Structure 1
Amino acid sequence: LPPQMETEPEPEAEPEPHPEPGPAAPASPPCQAAEGENEDEEEEEDFQFLGCDGCGQDSAQPRLLRCLHTLCPGCLSDTKQCPRCQAATGAPAVDNLLFCNLRSRLQLWRQIRSSGGPGCSRCRAEAALVWCSDCEEFFCGRCLEEHQWWHKKKAHRVRRVEELRAGSARQFLEDTRGSCSLFCSSASHPEESRVCSIYCPRCERALCCPCALLDTRHAPFRDLRAESRRRQEELRSLRRDLRRLRRSFEAALGRLRGEAARREEQRERLRERVRASAERLQELVRSEAEELRALLEARPERGRSALAEELRGAEGALLRLEAAERLVERLGRYGGEQELMDMQPFVKAALLELRRLRPPEPPELREPPDFAECRARLRAL
C-alpha cells in the first residue's frame, strides 16, 4: 500500500477449509420436496420488491428515480410521474445496480435449488459439488482439485452445493454480497483488470495499488473497505433521521385523515337532517327538501379540494420515506462494494432531499358557508 494511505486495522479472517467432494446426497422424500416448494414460494414472495413499481414485472435494466422508487424503462418512458408516490420523474434516473445484482444472484440460487442442480462452470459436463464465492463459479470434484492447486496460496471460500441448497435464499444473498470485486477504471492499463483496494477522496473513485503508487498528487488515500463502512454508516444515520421524519408524517397524515373523516361525518349528518325533514313535511315541503339536498351536493365545500391536495402530498411523501428506508436497508443487507460505491452519492442526495420535508399541519375546522345557509333554511322550513 502507498505510505500516505489511511488504513484501519482489521482482524485477519481465518481461511475456511475446502470441502472434499463426496457422494451425492440421497433424494428427498415427497414430503420434503413439498416443503421445499413451499419454501421456494415464500422466497419468491420475499423478493417481489425486485419488480417494477409501476407494472410489477421484472426488468433487466431497472432505473432508480429521485423518489427512490424503481421503474422499468418502459414505464419510465410512458409516464411523467412516479406511479407510487406521484413524484415528478423529470430528474435523471440511475441504474439500480442493487436490484440487477440481486436478480443475477437469485438466478444462481434458483440453479442451486433446481431439481437437476447446477452444472460445473469449467468442464460443463459433470454436476457441480461446490460453489466458490471468490470465483463465483460451480466446480465438480475434478475441477475443484485443479482450482485448489491453482489457488493454493489463496484462501478461497468454497461451500458444498448441498449445504447451500439446505439454506435459504436470504442467507445465500447475504453471504455472497461481498464476493463482487471492484476493478480499477484507470486508462493506464486498459487490457488488464486489477482489483481495487484503495479509495481516492479527491477523485471519488477506487484505485488499484499500482495506480495509487504512481499518482501521489491525490494522497492521502483511504482503505476501500474503510470507505465502504463510512458510506454505509452515513446511510444508516440518514435512515435513522428519515425514520423519525416518517413517524412525524404518519402522525400528520393521521390528523389529516381524521379531519377529512370529521368533515365527511358532518356532511353526512346534514344529509340525514335534510332527509328527515323532508319525510316529516311530506308533499307540501318535499320540493324544498329536494332543493336543499341539491344545494349540498351542487356546491362543494370550500377548502375541500385543498385538503384533498394536502392528503395526496402527505401520502406521496410518506411513500417516498418508506421507499427510502427500505432501499437503505436492502442496500446495507444485500449490497456489495460495487453497488455502494456507484449508488451511494445518488441515494445520499435523495435522502438529504427527503430529510428537508416537513409534515403538513391540518387546517382549522371551520364550518363552510354552505352548511350555515342550509341550516338557516332548514329552520325556516
Structure 2
Amino acid sequence: MAQFLQCGTCFCDITSPKLLSCLHSICQTCLKDQDGCHVVTCPTCHQPTEKAEVKDNKLLSDLQSKLDILKQIARGSDLSCSCCNFSARSMCFECEKFLCQKCFEAHQVFIAKDSHSVESLESLKVMSFQEFLATARKKRLPYCPDHDKQAISIFCRTCSKSICTTCTVLMHKPPDHEYRDIKQEAQEQKDNLAKMCTELCKKEDAFEEILKKLLNLKGDHQSRMKELKEQIKVSVKEAVRKVKQKGQALLKELEGIHKGMDAKMSKNLLHMEDVQKRIEGSKDLLENMIKYATDEEVMEMQKFVKSSLQQLRRSKPGNADALDFTVEFKKTDLEPLNLLGSLVVHKDMVTETNLVQTEFNLLSTTTQQLLPVFSQNHSSHGSTTTQQPLPVFSQHHSSHGSTTTQQPLPVFSWVHHNPTAPSSLLTAPFFSQASTLIKIKRERQDDEDIKPGTFLASELPPKRPYKPSLEKLGVSPASLNALPPNVGQKTADDSLLDYSDDECEETQSVVSGMMENKENTGDSLNSKESDKGTPLLECAGCLPSPAPAADQHIPVEDHSIVFFDLETTGLGSKCDIIQLSAACMEKTFNVYMVPRTPIVKGASAVTGFTVRRHKLYLHHHPVQTKTHRDCLMSFLAFLRALDRPLLAGHNIKRFDCPILARVLEEFQLNEEFKLLVSGFLDTLILSKDLLQNTGIKSFKQENLVKELLKKSYPAHNALEDVKALQDLYSALRPTPAQITSHLFTLDHMESHTSLQPLVEGKAISKTTAQKLARLGFNFEKMKRCHLQNPSEGLRQFLEPLKEELKNSMFTKTVDKICAFFKIEQ
C-alpha cells in the first residue's frame, strides 16, 4: 500500500494525484515539470498519455488523506479538538473532525437525527490501515452536492451520475432517465471489476513466464558472449603464434636461399680470382722472357709456355648476370584469409508464436474479454451506450527509439509491407509479425591450415525439389538416366593462358567505343515481365524452377541489397573478369585478377586495364591481384556475412550475371553461391519501368547519375560504379512491389540461356523464351520429355504455357519445338 501511495517520479507521498491512461499515478508537481510536452510519459511503464486525457485520481487522494489522519492518531501525540483547544478523545467520520468530551456531547445532541458515527481515538490507534479505511468508508454517508443533507442513494444510468431522491423529482425525471439503486449498481460493477482482475491475473502469469524466458535468454546470451570472447582471444593467440611460426619459417627459408646462392657465388669468385692470378703470373713470365731470356732459354721454355697459355686462353670468364637473383616477398592480404573466423548472425524462425506477437495477442485477448463487461452491462438494460474499440497506436522506431522517416537505401530490415495497402507505402509496425531470436555462431577454419581460399561452406540447407510422380505422363524414371546430356554443354578449362601484349595485338580486332555500349545491350529487354503464378509441373522427374512470382515471393523487406559490377576483357559471352566490386551501405568489396583471355583494345582504352608479363596495370600503375578462386571465395565470404542479400546491378541480366555464373561454374562454386543470395535485381530494367514517362532517352548508368543526381563520377571502374549505383538507387526510391516484379534468380537466367538454341532455330520467339524461363522450363527438361514421349509428352509438360499464350499459338509453339527436336535427332 505504501508503494501504491507514492509518486512514480519523485517516489514521495503523492499529493494532488493525477491518473494516467496506463492507470499509474503521478503527483501534480511532477506533472508540471513536463509542461514543455503535450504528452506525459509514465515513469513506471513508459506509456505515453496525452495531457488532455490526464484525470484527477480521487480515490488515491482520499486514501492519502485517510492515511495522514491515521498517522496523526498513531503518533500518540495530543490531538486538539477541531472545535476548541482541549485534547481530543474521539473522531466523527462524517464531519471529519476530532472532538473533545464536551464537544462530543454537544455534537451528539445537535446532529442526533443524522446518526453520525463517532469512534474513540483509543480504538482507532489499534486499527491497521486497511481496517481504518473500511471503518471510515462504512460509517461515512455520501451526500448529494446539489441538495444539502440529502444522501446519495440512486445511480442514473442515462446520465452516468450518482444522485439523491430529490434529484429524481427535479432533474432526473422518468421515463427520460433510467436509474437504479446505487448499492446494487455498485455491487454489480465491483463484480465486473473482480472478473477483470481475475483475467488480468491470468495474463500476468503469462507475462511473468515470458519475462523469465527473456531474462534467461539475456543471461544465456551474456554467458555465450563471454565464451565467444574467450574463444576469440584464444584464436587470436593461436593465430599470432602461427603467424610468428610462419614468419620464422620464412626467415629460415630466406637464409637458406641466400646461403646456397652465396656458396655458389663464393665458389665462382674463388675460381675467377685463381684464373686472374694465373693470368698475372703468365704475363710477368712472358714480359721477363721477352726482355731477359737468351735464345737458348726461349727455345727451351717456349713449348711448355705456349701449352700453358693455350690452356689459359680457353678459359672463359662466364656471365656474372647469370648468378644474379632476386628474392621478392609477396605479401598476403590477411583479410580474405579469415585467419580467426567470423561472427555470423543466424535468424532462427521460432516455431511457436514469437514473444512480441504473444504480447500483442495477450493484450488483444484481454481487451476483447474485459472491455465488453461494461458495455454489455449497460446495453442489457436498453442503454444507448455502445462499445468503443481501443485506439491503436502505430509507431515507427529507429535504432535509437525515435520516430524516423522511410529511408530509400537498400536495407529493409524490420519493415513490414502490407500487401493489401497501396504498394507505395512502407510501414514499420509496433508489433512485428515475424520476430526472430538471434543466435551467434562462430565459423572457424582449421588451425592447421590457413591457406588462402579455405573458407567454410555455408550451413544453409540445400533446397530439395519436390519429386512428382511420372506415371501421369507414361514416363519411366529409370530410363531418364540413359538419355544424352544437354546439347552444347562444355567443360571448363581452369588453366591460365600464356600470352603477351604483342600476340594480343596480332589476333584481336579493334573495337572502338564498345564498352560505352555495354549497358545498351539490354535495350531490347522487356522491362515489364508478367507476375502470374507458376503451377507445379510434372515431367521426367524434374520440377522446373520458376522465377519469383506471386506465389514465390522473395521478401525484399527481409534482405539487404548488395550492388555489384564487373570489369571484363570485352563484351563477348566468353570474356573474363578483371575486377569484381560490391557495396552494401558502408561496406565495400573490391578485388582484381589477372584475366585468362586477352583484353580487347577497345575495352582497354575505356577501362584503363592492361596486362604485361602476367601483371595487371590500371592506367599504367600495377595493382595487387589474386587468383580467380581466391577472389570468388572472398566474394562469397563477403556475401555470407550479409544473410542472403539481393544482388543488384545495371544490365546484369544480359551481361554480368551470365559471366559471373560461368566463372562460378568453372570453380564449382555456383551451388554455394545460390545458397548465399536471395535473387537478382537489374536496375537497368527497373529504371526503364520507373522513368518511362520522364523523357530520359539514355538509360546508361552514367547518364542516369548525371540526370538524376546532377553529378559525374569516374565510370568503368567497378568500385566507383557500384557506389554511384547505390546513390542512384536511393534517388529512384522503388517500392517493394516494384522491386519484386523485376527480381530473377540464376536458375531463371540459366533456363533462359539454355533456350537460345530454340530461339536461333526459329522454333520459339524471344518473348516465348522469356516466358518459358520464367515458368522454369529449360532445354534439357523439354528435350528429355520429348524423347520419352514424342507424341504427347511435351504438350502435357508445357501445359502451364497455355496461360501465357493463346490456344492456337500454344499449339503452333509446341509443334515447332517438337519439329526442332526431330531434326536434331
User: Smaller-chain TM-score range?
Assistant: 0.5 to 0.7
Q: What are the within-5 Å matches in structure 2 for residues 282-301 of structure 1? A: 282-285=240-243
Partner of 1:196: 152
Task: Give the match's secondary structure for 1:177.
Answer: helix
Q: 2:122 aligns with which of 148, 159, 162?
A: 162
* Displacement after TM superposition at 1:353 (Å): 8.6
Are the aligned partners of 1:70 and 1:96 in contact in 2 as well (CA < 8 Å)? yes
Separation (CA, whole Å) in 2 of partners of 1:180 and 1:293: 78
Are the aligned partners of 1:61 and 1:73 in contact in 2 as well (CA < 8 Å)? yes
* Displacement after TM superposition at 1:166 (Å): 2.5
Partner of 2:46: 86
* Displacement after TM superposition at 1:163 (Å): 1.6
* Displacement after TM superposition at 1:251 (Å): 1.4
Partner of 1:268: 226
Corresponding letter in the other structure for 1:255: K
Gaps of 5+ in 2: 245-332, 349-354, 367-386, 393-430, 451-825
Partner of 1:233: 191
* Displacement after TM superposition at 1:202 (Å): 0.8
Are the aligned partners of 1:105 and 1:173 in contact in 2 as well (CA < 8 Å)? yes
Separation (CA, whole Å) in 1 of partners of 2:388 and 2:12: 27
Tell me the alpha carbon deviations over residues 45-101 of structure 1, each in whole angstroms, 9 at most, x when there is no partner. x52321210111234211111111111234334274212111112261111112211
Separation (CA, whole Å) in 2 of partners of 1:120 and 1:229: 37
Corresponding letter in the other structure for 1:261: G
Matched, 1:97 2:97: no
Q: What are the within-5 Å matches in structure 2 for residues 71-150 of structure 1? A: 71-77=26-32, 78=34, 80-90=40-50, 92-122=53-83, 124-150=84-110
Matched, 1:375 2:444: yes
Tell me the alpha carbon deviations over residues 244-280 of structure 1, each in whole angstroms, 9 at most, x when there is no partner. 0111111122223333333333333322222223334
Q: 2:12 aligns with which of 34, 50, 57?
A: 57
* Displacement after TM superposition at 1:115 (Å): 3.9
How many residues align structurally? 286
Task: Give the match's secondary structure for 1:48.
Answer: coil
Separation (CA, whole Å) in 2 of partners of 1:360 and 1:175: 50
Partner of 2:215: 257
Deviates more, 1:205-214 or 1:252-261: 252-261
Separation (CA, whole Å) in 2 of partners of 1:240 and 1:360: 29
Separation (CA, whole Å) in 2 of partners of 1:181 and 1:167: 21
Distance 1:159 1:111, change over 3 A: same
CA RMSD, 1 decimal: 4.1
Corresponding letter in the other structure for 1:146: A
Are the aligned partners of 2:144 and 2:152 in contact in 1 as well (CA < 8 Å)? yes
Are the aligned partners of 1:112 and 1:165 in contact in 2 as well (CA < 8 Å)? yes
Are the aligned partners of 2:155 and 2:162 in contact in 1 as well (CA < 8 Å)? yes
Corresponding letter in the other structure for 1:97: K
Distance 1:150 1:262, change over 3 A: same
TM-score by length of 1: 0.62
Separation (CA, whole Å) in 1 of partners of 2:136 and 2:448: 75
Partner of 2:23: 68
Task: Give the match's secondary structure for 1:259.
Answer: helix
Separation (CA, whole Å) in 1 of partners of 2:235 and 2:134: 68
Separation (CA, whole Å) in 2 of partners of 1:148 and 1:206: 29
Distance 1:59 1:260, change over 3 A: closer
Separation (CA, whole Å) in 1 of partners of 2:448 and 2:187: 72
Task: Determine what percentage of the aligned residue pairs are the same residue.
Answer: 27
Separation (CA, whole Å) in 1 of partners of 2:339 and 2:215: 27
* Displacement after TM superposition at 1:216 (Å): 2.1
Task: Give the match's secondary structure for 1:50.
Answer: coil
Distance 1:142 1:269, change over 3 A: same
Task: Give the match's secondary structure for 2:94.
Answer: coil
Distance 1:288 1:279, change over 3 A: farther
Deviates more, 1:240-249 or 1:90-99: 90-99
Task: Give the match's secondary structure for 1:199.
Answer: strand
Partner of 1:245: 203
Q: Between Structure 1 and Structure 2, whose CA radius of gyration is higher?
A: 2
Separation (CA, whole Å) in 2 of partners of 1:349 and 1:115: 52
Corresponding letter in the other structure for 1:211: C
Task: Give the match's secondary structure for 1:134.
Answer: coil
Separation (CA, whole Å) in 1 of partners of 2:447 and 2:57: 61
Partner of 2:685: none
Matched, 1:213 2:189: no
Are the aligned partners of 2:92 and 2:98 in contact in 1 as well (CA < 8 Å)? yes
Separation (CA, whole Å) in 2 of partners of 1:365 and 1:378: 30
More helix by share: 1
* Displacement after TM superposition at 1:293 (Å): 7.8
Separation (CA, whole Å) in 2 of partners of 1:268 and 1:292: 21
Partner of 1:174: 134
Separation (CA, whole Å) in 2 of partners of 1:222 and 1:242: 29
Tell me the alpha carbon deviations over residues 141-181 of structure 1, each in whole angstroms, 9 at most, x when there is no partner. 11111122223344432221112113333321222134454
Distance 1:276 1:199, change over 3 A: same
Distance 1:125 1:261, change over 3 A: closer
Task: Give the match's secondary structure for 1:206.
Answer: strand
Gaps of 5+ in 1: 1-45, 305-309, 322-347
Are the aligned partners of 2:339 and 2:445 in contact in 1 as well (CA < 8 Å)? no
Corresponding letter in the other structure for 1:63: K
Separation (CA, whole Å) in 1 of partners of 2:340 and 2:136: 66
Matched, 1:222 2:186: no
TM-score by length of 2: 0.31
